[in-house]
Structures are given as structure tokens and as C-alpha cells.
Structure 1
């Protein structure tokens, strides 16, 4: 098994786990959580024909745009380990969570904790993902240390065991 397969399948599972959750985006709409693998979307160059000429001449138009990712979870492969030739592979993934919550009561951390709880609940009840990947403990989570209103961030570290590749060399 390859770590990128785990990453993709976990991203799909997160979409299912969080399908009923709607959070605000910076445009004020309630939307589903965006799930990205490894990196946030990159800015794409704008077609110069889409920008008013006077904005281009005065340097007031941005040359690139990127889709606004909020709310999002970034499924990032952190590292892995194969202890010896008979061991299963252990893959560590970091889930980076980013949300936008403009309310002045500053309770965005509760949405982050709710997301973490839903992820934990799924793997506590059913520790195997797609019959191939088994969750390992501990499951670690964190909230941001610094103030970043109206954006809130958190993270979850998940480790999975992937079936080992067995030696087939008949001459060993």
C-alpha cells in the first residue's frame, strides 16, 4: 500500500464524516468543508481580459487569484516508518483545520473541537478505514496558540498502520 492512497481515501472519508456540517465562508455563506490533499489550492493567473484596463494601468488589480479555501481541512502526509522487514508500515497524517467565524463572541474554537470530535468518534467506533488502514493511538489534537480572529485553526495527528509487503525472494 502507498501512503498517497491512504491520504486520498482519508480525504474521501472526511467528506462523509463531515457531510452534514455547514460553516461560514468569508462571503458569509454556510458551506461544506473543503477537503484538500497535502497543499491548499495555488493561485491561478487571471486572464488579463477579465480586468478593467484602468485597474491594470494603476497597479490596482491583483495579478493572481486563488479560490478561498475556508472552511477547510488539509490532509497532509507527515511521515512514515517501516521498523523492519516484517513490520507493517506506519503512516502519520496531519489534518490542518481552518475555519472562518466572524461573530464577535469568538467561539470559532468550538467549531474546530466539534470537527475533531466527529473525526475521533468515527475512528473510535470503526478503527479500520476501507478494510486496509488501521488507526493507531494516540490520536493527538491541538488548537492554535495565537489570536487570529476571524480565522481559527486546529490540527489532528492520525497514525495508520498499512499492511506490510512480504518478502517473496525464494533464495533468502
Structure 2
């Protein structure tokens, strides 16, 4: 993974997020989904959507973000000295469909399913990270037409910091 090699500082949750985004970009290369003004490639954002730089007039134009995934790091834990740390991610999926049949949820479901199939068949990514089971997903329950949402929650392992071996030698 390029980010791990370039950083030269070890493998951290931040690098795990970068590798997850890289894996998602590879997974969705060449695929198009419903967005404003037709089908277009899926955008993948780190942590949040970008801050809008224009007026609200762009909300329903091609300049808007949908379709997209936001890969949000939500937490983590180090359970003991010898195991890896876990890093939790929420992948928020959004599609856009103005049609009266309200079929935008199908793009969200297909994007979600591509993610689930990838992480279940190949849970390793970025050279140092593993996605654990269970993989949890949900579809929106509220009416936000023409926007449709879903989410996948992933728990990944990342190498943890180890206890200072110099201190262990003194004890």
C-alpha cells in the first residue's frame, strides 16, 4: 500500500482509513450510479463530505456529491498488550434518484452488497489490515427522496503499539 510505505512511521488507524479508501476506489472503478443529471462514478470521501464552496444553487446539479461513500473512522480499542488494535468505520452510502418509482435505494443496496461481498471474500487490505466479522449494514428508514442512504459498519484490525521493551528489561 502506497500510504503505508510513504508514511514510514508505522501502521496506524489513519493509514487503515487511507487503505480502506484505496480498496473502495479499486472496487468501484468503472462503475456508475444514479446522481444528479444522470449516471456517474461513485465518489469516496474521507471522514466527511467536503465543505461546499458555492451557493445552495448547486444542490441539485452535477456539482453535488451524490453518489458517494463517506468512510468515517468512528472509534477503536486496544484490548491488551499482545493483540492488534481494532478500528471501527462507518461507510455511509448515498445515491440520488428523482424518479417517481423511488428506485434510488437499489443503487444503495447494490453498493452495499459489493462492499459486503468484497470484505467477506477478501477481508485483508493494505498489507496490514483485516476486516473482522460481523459486518453490519443498514438501509435508511426515513423518506429523504431524492436522496437514498445506507451504511456498513466495519471493524478492522491494525497493528497496535507494543509495550516498551526497555522497561520490561528493567523489571
Same fold (TM over 0.5): yes
Q: Which residue matches 1:2?
A: 12
Distance 1:104 1:63 in 2: 24
Q: Which residue matches 1:95?
A: 91
Structure 2 counterpart SS, 1:148: coil
Is residue 34–residue 104 contact of structure 2 (8 Å, CA) maintained in 1? Answer: no
Shift of 1:80: 0.2
Distance 2:86 2:57 in 1: 39
Q: 1:154 aligns with which of 145, 150, 155?
A: 150
Mean CA deviation greater in 104-113 or 74-83: 104-113
Say yes or no: does 1:129 pair with 2:139: no
Q: For the structure 1 residues 43 and 81, does the alpha-carbon distance in structure 2 shift closer, same or farther, using more than 3 Å as the test? A: same
**Within-5 A mapping of 1:1-172:** 1-26=11-36, 28-44=37-53, 62=55, 67-172=63-168
Shift of 1:25: 1.9
Higher Rg of the two aligned structures: 1
Q: CA RMSD in A?
A: 1.9
Query: What is the aligned residue count?
Result: 155
Q: For the structure 1 residues 139 and 63, does the alpha-carbon distance in structure 2 shift closer, same or farther, using more than 3 Å as the test? A: closer
Which runs of no fewer than 5 residues in structure 2 stay unpaired?
1-10
Q: By percentage of residues, which structure has more helix?
A: 2
Residue deviations 1:3-26, cap 9 Å, x none?
Answer: 111111111111111123211222
Normalised by the size of structure 1, how large is the TM-score? 0.83
